[in-house]
């Protein structure tokens, strides 16, 4: 065994790590149903939180739950954040953002677009991806998620703690295009045609 073998391995590992940062990676997750309690979330394989992608995907699930039931959604978000629960400021921010746009978190799932009032296709599928700068900060990951109602991706920031990647912060609340049911022109057309239920989404 050469005395330079260890050096060669270290150089190779360094090069591979640098190359991985320059590669856009996408991971896709599929859920037969969205979790409706923190216990159901913890039973999912993604709840290991051993990759930042898993935590990011579950963050969207938690926000969907929050739209339906704030108490349950808060429990999920607390689980994803790690040892410390959401602060009062964070809770106030979420409450303010969800006051009138509860459809936003559903827009991150495949098939959810303004034309169908952000009704996701089933099973629920979501893709999380990186860009060359996602791991620029040591111990952190900044991941990107596409919304069916926006031209630019939204972000979730995670911090590595031990073997897990708890959620650090997220910017999944910004406004997106309004669903068709809130488009005055679509509403007028729908009323005239007599198909009042046509544009009603099962989501709030």
Residues sharing a CB contact under 8 Å with residue 47, sequence separation 6 or more, in sequence order: 41, 54, 58, 79
Percent of the chain with pLDDT over 70: 78
Angle at which helices 70-81 and 88-97 cross, to 10°: 130
**What is the pLDDT confidence band of residue 29, given thresholds at 50, 70 and 90?**
very high
What phi and psi values does residue 119 have, to the nearest 5 degrees? -95, 110
∠ at Cα 177 (194, 118), nearest 5°? 60
Average pLDDT over residues 33-62: 97
What are the residue boundaries of the structural domains of the chain, listed by start? 19-176
C-alpha–C-alpha distance, residues 147 and 160, integer Å: 25
Are β-strands 140-145 and 26-31 bridged in parallel, bridged antiparallel, or unpaired? unpaired
User: Greater confidence, 96 or 176?
Assistant: 176
Average pLDDT over residues 171-186: 79
What phi and psi values does residue 197 have, to the nearest 5 degrees? -90, -5
C-alpha–C-alpha distance, residues 190 and 177, integer Å: 19
Average pLDDT over residues 127-142: 95
Q: What is the pTM of this model?
A: 0.79
């Amino acid at each position: 065994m050469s005395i330079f073998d260890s050096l060669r391995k270290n150089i190779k590992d360094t090069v591979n790590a640098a190359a991985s940062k320059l590669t856009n990676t996408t991971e896709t997750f599929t859920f037969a149903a969205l979790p409706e309690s923190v216990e159901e979330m913890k039973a999912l394989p993604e709840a290991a939180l051993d990759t930042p992608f898993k935590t990011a995907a579950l963050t969207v699930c938690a926000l969907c739950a929050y739209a339906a039931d704030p108490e349950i959604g808060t429990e999920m978000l607390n689980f994803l954040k790690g040892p410390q629960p959401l602060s009062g400021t964070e809770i106030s921010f979420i409450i303010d953002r969800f006051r009138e746009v509860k459809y936003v978190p559903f827009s991150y799932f495949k098939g959810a677009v303004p034309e169908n009032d952000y009704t996701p296709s089933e099973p629920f599928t979501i893709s999380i991806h990186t860009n060359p700068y996602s791991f620029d900060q040591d111990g952190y990951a900044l991941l990107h998620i596409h919304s069916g109602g926006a031209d630019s991706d939204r972000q979730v920031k995670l911090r590595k703690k031990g073997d897990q990647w708890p959620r650090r912060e997220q910017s999944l609340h910004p406004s997106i295009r309004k669903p068709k049911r809130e488009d005055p022109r679509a509403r007028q057309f729908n009323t005239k045609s007599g198909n009042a239920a046509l544009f009603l989404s099962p989501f709030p």
